[in-house]
Amino acid sequence: MKTFNITIGGEAGQGLVSVGNILLKAIVKEGWYLFANQDYESRIRGGHNLFQFCISDKPVFVGEPRIDVLVALDEVSMELHQADLADDGVVIYDPTITGELTGRPNLIRIPFAKITEEQHQPRVMANVVAAGAIWALLSDSLTVLDATLTKMFGAKGEEIVNGNKGVAKAGFDLVEKALGKRLKPAKPNVIAPRMILKGNEALPAGALAAGLKFMSAYPMTPSTGVTEFVATHGEKCSVIMEQTEDEISAVNMAVGAAFAGVRAMTATSGGGFALMTEALGLAGSAEIPLVVINAQRPGPSTGLPTRTEQGDLLYGYGMSSGDFPKALLAPGDVEEAFYLMGHAFNLAEQYQMPVVVFSDQHLADSYQTVAPFDLTQIEIKRGSFVAREQAGLDYKRYRYTESGVSPRMYPGFGEGFVVSAGDEHDEEGHLIEDIATRVKMMEKRMAKMQGVLRDALAPVTYGDDQPDIVLIGWGSTKGAIRSAVEILQEQGTKALAIHLPQVYPLPAELEQLLAGPGEKYVVEGNFSGQLQKLLGMEFAWKPAGSVRRFDGRPLNAHYILERLAGGAYYE
């Protein structure tokens, strides 16, 4: 698939995100498919940050290392990224910042701040000059970019809008003058309505669509966007959003809200998830439905706060002390993130247990074009409840049942009492110490896992059903693996991608795929091969090899194929 790739590099505080946000909206309005990701350091100013765009006339699922247009807002951008420039790649740079650049074709010097002054506009509009310059390489017309600027800045008045349009045109004209009318990226034959969302917007939007009524959280990169989205839009859906003093308070407030009967969740990253483990055990013992989003980042400890990794899988598998029912889900893209949240809440309430949804920085902060969501696909299943007329004094919160699921009653709903505690208990919820009740209660709770397994999300496959090579992954590796399979097929190799949107309990269909044809490799973003270990524990299975990345950067198709060609990483 032919893509057109733009990289904007610079320091934090130079307006790089502003340029990116303008282009995101304009590119989608112009009709292209888009995947865009941000690479940023853990600092407010300085450092080296990237905003990368991958544009195509067909759906695109992951970024590429090749660069067609590099906008260098600092010297480091040229040093780090010129090796990835295509042979006919264009470099747009500000000589007042980087100095004069030489030694390659298609160098376009644009002193962004100086141009705003020449246009009698404030220097803060320098990023709009850059947006106009880039747009000249995408379109022969400023119509869509102008419409985007009008919508973005219209509330500030006509003078501000016209000022932005003027500096954008100045950047546009300079590039056209330097390069002439170049061939522009191909557009789709049919331009259909599309949205542009990142994972940290799709996940909470899915939660709101699924009936979320309470969220509590403490800000922690890269999950904070989930909290901000619910805080911004939740009121329209009668949702209470509470920012707490720490992650322990956040999870306990969510547990309390779920105990009271509403759909509740919290969101965090690895270190915050570690603080939540005791409360997650409480939710498991007291059979309280809870959804937790864990947006993973590299550890251990504080690790790399703004980078990506898939290092918490086995920690989520253990989650807390002792055995109790649970499920671990892992959406692979923006669309899957939205719809999967409904399944997460249904699982939590039907089986009265904690459900963890694994995101990571790559999914959280990457944008993707998607078709408008179909809300009719969101089915709300709240599980088994006691009817009001049956909520008498003989109500037993933990009644023994064959399925392990005891009908719930809202506290204060009827004549009966809801007794609940973290200690082991009997059917009525009262604390016990005897062997017989302990064994029976454990068997009751764990019987739920049979139902959870029956409802497990099936593997998502893409490619040849009689493959020579099979690539297996979970979470945000989905797009990279799919793109790698497409390249292998173009090269004449039969290949299959297997994506796991549910990583525990593993779906029964997966065992059949593992026993099928093809040399199999597990692809994941951690050092120790955590999915590979989980597959070994569950199925006594070992792959031919594995591809792992743990430097804090996302996997892409070229990284995977280079490792396969050079001999994949073996334990």
Gap between the Cα atoms of 437 and 396, Å rounded: 14
**Res. 45: pLDDT tops 80:** no
* pLDDT for res 326: 98
pLDDT reading at 340 higher than 80: yes
Contact indicator for 478, 499 with CB cutoff of 8 Å = yes
Joined together, the tokens standing for residue 287 give 């059979």
Q: At 569, is the pLDDT very low, low, confident or very high (cuts 50, 70, 90)? A: low
Question: How many Cβ atoms from other residues are within 10 Å of residue 491's Cβ?
Answer: 9
Do 222 and 554 contact (CB within 8 A), yes or no? no
The CA distance from 443 to 448, in Å, is 9
Number of neighbours of residue 482 by Cβ within 10 angstroms: 23
Distance from chain centroid for Cα 5: 21
Lowest mean pLDDT, pick from 83-97, 154-168, 371-385, 539-553: 83-97
Q: Fold for 460-565, please state it.
A: Rossmann fold (3.40.50)
Average pLDDT across the chain, whole number: 94
The per-residue DSSP string of 10-57 comes to EEETSSHHHHHHHHHHHHHHHT-EEEEEEE--SSSSEEEEEEEEEEES
310: its two tokens:
């898939």
C-beta of residue 414 within 8 angstroms of C-beta of residue 385: no
Residue 448: pLDDT band with limits 50, 70, 90: very high
**Whole-number pLDDT of residue 154:** 93
Quick one: residue 458, left, alpha or beta (phi over 0 = left, psi -120 to 50 = alpha)?
Answer: beta
Q: Report pLDDT digits (tens) over 309-323.
A: 999 999 999 999 999
CA dihedral sign of residues 239, 242, 247, 252 = negative
Per-residue pLDDT of 273-293, as tens digits, reads: 999 999 999 999 999 999 999
**Residues in CB range of 481: below 8 A, 6 or more apart:** 471, 472, 473, 497, 499, 523, 555, 557, 560
How many beta carbons lie within 10 A of that of residue 434, not counting itself?
10
The CA distance from 153 to 21, in Å, is: 12
Q: Using CA atoms, how far apart are residues 436 and 444, in angstroms rounded to an integer?
A: 12
- CATH number, domain 4-179: 3.40.920.10
Q: Which residues contact 180 (CB under 8 A, 6 or more apart)?
A: none
Which residue type does 317 have? Answer: Y
**DSSP letter at 432?**
-
Q: Residue 325 contacts by C-beta under 8 Å, 6 or more apart in sequence?
A: 284, 351, 353, 404, 445, 446, 448, 449, 452
**Residue 568 — pLDDT band, cuts 50, 70, 90?**
low
Dist. CA 72–CA 91, nearest whole Å: 7
Query: Is it the case that residue 87 has pLDDT exceeding 60?
Result: yes
pLDDT at 570 over 60: no
How far apart CA 214 and CA 241 sit, in angstroms, is 6
Model pLDDT for residues 511-527, shown as the tens digit of each residue? 999 999 999 999 999 99
CATH number for the segment(s) 196-377? 3.40.50.970
Would you list the domain boundaries of the chain? Answer: 4-179, 196-377, 384-455, 460-565
Domains 4-179 and 460-565 share a fold: no
Distance of CA 488 to the CA centre of its chain: 26
Q: What is the pLDDT of residue 339?
A: 98
